[in-house]
Amino acid sequence: MLPNSLYSIRTTAVLVAWGAFLGAGGSICAADAAAQGNPLARDESAVQAGDGLFHERCAVCHGQRAQGGMASNLVQTRTVRRGSEDALFRLIRTGIPGTEMPPQDDLPDERIWQIVSYLRSMALPGQQPPLPGDVVAGEALFRSAGCASCHIVNGSGGFLGPPLDSIAIQKSSEEIRKDVLQPSASLAHGFETIAVETMDGRMVAGVLKNEDTFLLVVQTPDGQVRTLLRSEVRSAEMSAKSRMPEDFATRLSQRQLTDLLAFLDRQRDPFTPVVRGFAVY
């Protein structure tokens, strides 16, 4: 691609830069902590510009939507998902010496940040540009349409469904939209629906909160938590149906849905996911 001589000049420059970077040694973390992060962050036009640039310069190796090809899937890699934005910036700037991963030393900082914005938006739900819509109207609707009777936001609300304070960093906007319009398409973990019949003929239906060899813990729609001994249970049936109403698609206008989703998109309280294994390494 590049004339040989030019390539070797570049490579040398990069090795020096990389050496200086590594030479900073233990202070890398300190530098990260003091660093500013991406000044463009979730700006919509930055993400779009980054998408264009990615197409021109990166897609040939990393795939059209950064999902891998000749080189790694960047949507899943730890470097993009967990690393700091500053470290990602430096990596794109310098490339990875000794590998096919080329430096981008002809681009101004702003253009590199655009690529960072794009990659983060692809890899992490909470990094997508803010959804348009009237957030205040969305919040009012959240209360008037009954969502708040089952979901906590800002410290108040019901508990039959999961709290939604951090929903926008846990799920992408498409997933949230689907949760609202087709609740039973996938049930939130820890909120699966169960119907139990006891030996003495009582029916207890609700959300299965916990279970072990001896017990089932079921929360009923009135908010009570019932602990049932397995020995007194005649049958227990899990259901693929959500306890959430299925008819919001018809009850809400387009406009209302837009506002509601914009409100949910602003729910970004810090959240610590449970990490299982090393699947995203």
Q: Which residues of this chain interact with ligand HEC, rule CB under 6 A?
A: 57-58, 60-62, 71-72, 74, 77, 79-80, 91-92, 96, 99-102, 104, 115, 145-147, 149-151, 160-162, 164, 167, 176, 179-180, 183, 187-188, 191, 207, 242-245, 248, 260
| Percent composition of the chain: helix, strand, coil (DSSP 3-state, to 5) | 45, 10, 45
- Which one, 16 or 240, has the nearer CB to ligand HEC? 240
Helices (H) and strands (E) in the chain, counts: 12, 5
> Residue 234, SS3?
strand
- Which one, 82 or 234, has the nearer CB to ligand HEC? 82
Are the C-beta atoms of residues 252 and 246 closer than 8 Å to each other?
no
DSSP symbols for 152-196? -BTTBS-SSS---TTHHHHS-HHHHHHHHH-GGGSPPTT--EEEE
- Which one, 84 or 104, has the nearer CB to ligand HEC? 104
Distance CA 204, CA 225 (A): 11
Paired strand residues for 254 = none
Taking the complex as a whole, the smallest distance from the CB of residue 46 to ligand HEC amounts, in Å, to 14
| 275: amino acid identity, one letter | V
Are the C-beta atoms of residues 97 and 85 closer than 8 Å to each other?
no
- Which one, 164 or 262, has the nearer CB to ligand HEC? 164
Taking the complex as a whole, the smallest distance from the CB of residue 227 to ligand HEC amounts, in Å, to 19
- Which one, 47 or 150, has the nearer CB to ligand HEC? 150
Taking the complex as a whole, the smallest distance from the CB of residue 214 to ligand HEC amounts, in Å, to 25
Distance CA 90, CA 153 (A): 38
Taking the complex as a whole, the smallest distance from the CB of residue 104 to ligand HEC amounts, in Å, to 5
Taking the complex as a whole, the smallest distance from the CB of residue 232 to ligand HEC amounts, in Å, to 25
Taking the complex as a whole, the smallest distance from the CB of residue 213 to ligand HEC amounts, in Å, to 25
- Which one, 42 or 177, has the nearer CB to ligand HEC? 177
Taking the chain, what is the end-to-end CA distance rounded to the nearest angstrom? 31
Distance CA 239, CA 234 (A): 16
Taking the complex as a whole, the smallest distance from the CB of residue 76 to ligand HEC amounts, in Å, to 9
